[in-house]
Amino acid sequence: CKGVNGLDKVVLREARDCSAEVYLYGGHVTSWKNDGEELLFVSNKAIFKPPKAIRGGIPICFPQFSNFGSLEQHGFARNKQWSIDTDPPPFPTVTSSRAFVDLILKPSEEDLKIWPNSYEFRLRVTLGPGGDLMLTSRIRNTNTEGKTFSFTFAYHTYFFVSDISEVRVEGLETLDYLDNLQERKRFTEQGDAVVFESEVDKIYLSTPAKLAILDHEKKRTFVLRKDGLPDAVVWNPWDKKAKAMADFGDDEYKHMVCVEAAAIEKPIELKPNEEWTGRYFSLVWSFTSDMDH
């Protein structure tokens, strides 16, 4: 059906008022609800208009995370028009009882001038019967002349939180990270969960597959699992950077945190015909008191 500004979107639905919305523009998940409650953050000022990427939801950073190379910031997949993949090859996971949609991105002639590599990028967005959300990306090198390519990648997921100062991210304790706010120097995290008192923009390296975001005010935990994506980015722009972004409200930083499943430090290398898979899975738990977890 049609979304904001007439852009095409697909809506997935499950029991218990669970749903997800995916825009073909960017292959971009813009909504994920459980019991009718929105779990992703999308800015009130988001511009749903190419070529600007949608601010919020789950932008896909490919083939370059950040400005770590010669391409535009976060690559180009997030501002390309994807198509419905009507004939996807079989996926290894069982999906029969789930709502899902398959999208595909292939380079146009214009794209090949910017990044001279041929690929098929298949994205499956799955909404499980329990309301869990899973994104599976499969990227195949379809270069014909024996050319290997490499890329970095992130699911740039904006989670909705009620109050950032009451949020903790667990699973990153004692890990090394690159601090984007300090010339990407390498540091080691202390033993405590990550909390937010100012701008945070860190790339945690080789993290465990399982992470969690605790939202004390909402009394809920996002349980996150990632496969094929060793790194994790944690970002909150805080007040000054929020003001500097045209498509982000001045106070909206209080209601979001990006915890991104990523492959950044060691770019993924694909030989011709090779395929890479990267998966991000999130589900939400409610807790009634601090004793519950």
Is 220 one of the annotated binding-site residues?
A: no
Name the minimum Å distance from CB 37 to ligand BG6.
25
Is 124 one of the annotated binding-site residues?
A: no
User: Residue count at the site for ligand BG6 (CB under 6 A)?
Assistant: 10
Q: Which of 125, 233, 256, 268 binds ligand BG6 (CB under 6 A)?
A: 233
Give which of 104, 143, 179 is closest to 274, Cα–Cα: 143
Binding of residue 28 to ligand BG6 (CB under 6 A):
no
Name the minimum Å distance from CB 72 to ligand BG6.
9
Catalytic residue among 14, 28, 74, 156: 156
Is 55 one of the annotated binding-site residues?
A: yes
CB nearer ligand BG6, residue 100 or residue 177: 177
Report which secondary-structure segment, H or E, holds 233. Answer: strand 231-236
Binding of residue 201 to ligand BG6 (CB under 6 A):
yes
Strand partners, 213: 169, 222
Give which of 91, 98, 75, 97 is closest to 26, Cα–Cα: 75
Give which of 70, 86, 77 is closest to 278, Cα–Cα: 77
CB nearer ligand BG6, residue 8 or residue 199: 199
Binding of residue 80 to ligand BG6 (CB under 6 A):
no
Stretch that binds ligand BG6, among 66-74, 88-96, 208-216, 222-230 (CB under 6 A): 66-74
Task: Answer for the pair 286, 222: CB distance below 8 angstroms, yes or no.
Answer: no
Judging by beta carbons within 10 Å of its beta carbon (0-12, 13-18, 19+), is residue 206 exposed, middle or buried?
A: exposed
The Cα 288–Cα 292 span in angstroms is 7
The Cα 139–Cα 277 span in angstroms is 7
156 has catalytic annotation: yes
- Which residue positions form the known binding site for substrate? 55, 73, 78
Q: Mark the binding-site residues, compressed into ranges.
A: 55, 73, 78
Q: Given the rule CB under 6 A, which residues bind ligand BG6? A: 66, 73-74, 156, 180, 201, 233, 235, 258, 260
